[in-house]
Structure 1
Amino acid sequence: MASIFTKIIKREIPAHIVAEDENYIAFLDIMPLVKGHVLVVPKKEVDYIFDLEDEMLSGLNIFAKKVAKGVDKAIKCTRVGVAVIGLEVPHVHIHLVPLNTMDDINFTRPKLTLNDQELADIAARIKAEL
């Protein structure tokens, strides 16, 4: 069965996409830790990041770097943090989280609830910086 991320890639469910190329896609997390929390995903559905082929893994990180620079310009933050957890969705993904404190990347804290317009506005700001 296709992961939720594969469904986003195939446009079967909506997402606030901030960047995309032939191999990777980046979109806003709909239950973010902070505003501007982005998920970077390879289009090839692989469950575990270290099962990616070397070229795909390096490409994912280079794509994430580009997106992180856009997030850093669009969202007021000290820096953009990176996390790979991989337990919640069986499809490789990198979390890019704007940080002002260490707690901003604490995945046990309550997530934000943003409406569709807020997410669209954040996505537009990030896209404008890429």
Structure 2
Amino acid sequence: MASIFTKIIRGEIPGQFVWKDAVCVVMATIEPVRPGHVMVIPREEVAKYTDLAPAVFAHLMNVAQIVGRAQEEAFGVERTIVQILGFDVPHTHVHVIPGADSGAAKFDNATAAPAEEIAEAMAKLRTALIRSGHAEFVAEA
């Protein structure tokens, strides 16, 4: 059975995408730790990151770094946080979170956010990605 992420990638369930390429997508989480919290998700449904092909894993990390730089610009933070968890959804996903402080690494701080707040944060992130030269991969709102 397809994971919820696969269903979102296929368009069966709505999602707020900021990046799409042949290997992965980047989309908002509905329970962000901080505004701008996104997930880098491979199109291929692989439960554990250790089972990803090395080239796919490297691509995910490259995109996470690009997105992290854009988050630093868009949200005025010095750092971003990258975490790979994968216990709730058996489909590898890399969390990229604007990190104003160490609290951004604590998923206990995640709360459901209003759709308007998520859309506003994703618009800021899309703008920063375009400014940084990645317009060809920026997903339409």
Calculate the TM-score normalised by the size of structure 1: 0.94
Q: Which amino acid aligns with 1:126?
A: L
Q: Which residue number in structure 1 is paired with residue 49 of structure 2?
A: 49
- Return the alpha-carbon distance in structure 1 between the equivalents of residues 64 and 76 of structure 2: 18
Alignment of 1:113-124 (within 5 A): 113-124=112-123
> 1:99 deviation in Å?
0.9
- Deviation, 1:113, is 2.8
Q: Assess if the C-alpha contact under 8 Å between 2:81 and 2:105 holds in 1.
A: yes
Q: Which amino acid aligns with 1:15?
A: G
2:71 matched to 1:68?
A: no
Matches within 5 A, 1:22-37: 22-37=22-37
Measure how far apart 1:72 and its partner are.
1.4
Q: Distance in 2 between matches of 1:112 and 1:75?
A: 18
| CA deviation map 1:30-70 (0-9, x unaligned) | 00111111100000000000100111111111111111111
Aligned length: 129
Task: Note the aligned Cα RMSD (angstroms).
Answer: 1.0
Task: Verify: 1:15 aligned to 2:27, yes or no.
Answer: no
Alignment of 1:101-116 (within 5 A): 101-107=101-107, 109-116=108-115
Instruction: Detail structure 1 runs of 4+ shifted over 4 Å in the superposition.
Output: none
Structure showing the higher helix proportion among its residues: 2
| Separation of aligned partners in 2, 1:48 and 1:54 | 12
**Is this contact kept in 1: 2:42–2:60, CA < 8 A?**
yes
2:136 matched to which residue of 1? none
Give the unaligned 5+ runs of structure 1: none
The percentage of aligned residue pairs carrying the same residue is 33
Structure 2 SS opposite 1:128: helix
The corresponding residue for 2:40 is 40
User: What is the CA-CA distance between 1:7 and the residue it aligns to?
Assistant: 0.7
For 2:113 and 2:106, the matched residues in 1 are separated by 18
Amino acid aligned to 1:61: M
Equivalent in the alignment of 2:96: 96
Q: TM-score, normalised by structure 2?
A: 0.87
| Runs of 5+ consecutive residues of structure 2 not aligned to the other structure | 130-141
Contact kept in structure 1, 2:77 and 2:98, CA below 8 Å? yes
Q: Which position in structure 1 is the counterpart of 2:134? A: none
